[in-house]
């Protein structure tokens, strides 16, 4: 899931490049300006009537953006929020995503060990199985 969403962000904006400024399931100490998509707990997969297995899953991702300035970190997180909120009935890589929906607005999560601001938002993700 994080790889599909990450590839989408990479393709839609020059802010992120997978493996350089966008990371999956971790946020390394460098570079100073970076983002990460982290898979977190969602809810149980759903079954359509008569199906033998899950028809779609509702996972959750946590997107964090860090920079040396609050304005830059916030702008990156806001840009991700706008792009992710727009995903609806789209194929990302080879998986069909029914919807990505923000759980809340972007917020200041923390300042890391170097004092850099980290902004974040959580998203519910419905993906066809």
88-127 pLDDT, tens digit per residue, is 999 999 899 999 999 999 999 999 999 999 999 999 999 9
- Could you tell me the two tokens for 57? 């899953």
pTM higher than 0.85: yes
Summarize pLDDT for 22-80 with one digit per residue, the tens.
999 999 999 999 999 999 988 877 777 777 777 778 999 999 999 999 999 999 999 99
pLDDT of residue 82: 97
Q: Is 127 left (phi over 0), alpha (psi -120 to 50) or beta?
A: beta
In this structure, how many other beta carbons lie within 10 angstroms of the beta carbon of residue 125? Answer: 22
């Amino acid at each position: 899931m994080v790889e599909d969403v990450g590839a989408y962000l990479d393709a839609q904006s020059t802010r992120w490049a997978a493996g350089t400024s966008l990371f999956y399931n971790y946020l390394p100490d460098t570079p100073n300006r970076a983002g990460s998509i982290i898979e977190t707990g969602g809810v149980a997969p759903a079954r359509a009537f008569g199906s033998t297995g899950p028809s779609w899953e509702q996972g959750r991702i946590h997107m964090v953006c860090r920079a040396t300035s609050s304005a830059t970190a916030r702008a990156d997180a806001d840009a991700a929020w706008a792009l992710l909120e727009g995903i609806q009935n789209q194929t990302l890589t080879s998986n069909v995503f029914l919807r990505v929906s923000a759980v809340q607005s972007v917020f200041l999560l923390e300042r890391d060990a170097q004092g850099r601001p980290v902004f974040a938002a959580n998203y519910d993700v419905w993906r066809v199985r």
